[in-house]
Amino acid sequence: MKFHQIFTAAIHEPKKLAAFRLLKIGKVFRYVFLFVTLFTAISFIRYLVGDVTLFDASPELLEHGELIGWLIYPIALILQFVVSTFYIFLRISVFAYVGVVLLRLMKRRGEYRFMWNTAAIAVTIPMLLTIALDFIPAMSDYSMVITSVVHVGYIAAAAKYYPKLSK
């Protein structure tokens, strides 16, 4: 299955979203790393343009930033990539656990590894919302809550299509 097919299905087809639990983990990781790359690129471009600053805490940090000169850019890019990777994978892992709890409440059969795949693909819209809300300063306080509710909603919609527990 191609990434654009996964992307479109993740947006509006909860039945396929549940079926993505059977995708190979490598395919899911590659899909997630597309978002990591997008997230990193946008953050780095915002840093380059001057929308966000790294060294505004103290004069010593400013001086150190000037001292290393052009090296600040690859360091910032690598740091942003690591932070974005950690953030997105942690988010997916936490919401996968929430998904397992939802499966138990809905009396559905599923394991954490399957729900992790579903949560990873279900992160599509929440990540796009996170990026969009980051550009709206008034919404920055609520963006985590909004995207979390959306992510749980997608996971719950997919969980309905997991197999029922046998009695």
Query: To the nearest 10°, the Cα dihedral for 150, 153, 155, 156?
Result: 170
- Distant-in-sequence, close-in-space partners of 121: CB < 8 Å, separation ≥ 6: 6, 10, 17, 20, 23, 28, 31
Q: In this predicted model, what pLDDT tens digit does every residue of 84-125 receive, in sequence order? A: 899 999 999 999 999 999 999 999 988 999 999 999 999 999
pLDDT value at residue 140: 76
Compute the mean pLDDT over every residue in the chain, rounded to the nearest whole number: 86
pLDDT value at residue 44: 85
Q: Around Cβ 87, how many Cβ atoms within 10 Å?
A: 13
pLDDT value at residue 92: 95
* Residue 3 vs residue 95, higher pLDDT: 95
pLDDT value at residue 107: 92
Q: In this predicted model, what pLDDT tens digit does every residue of 44-97 receive, in sequence order? A: 888 788 766 555 556 776 677 777 777 878 888 898 899 989 999 999 999 999
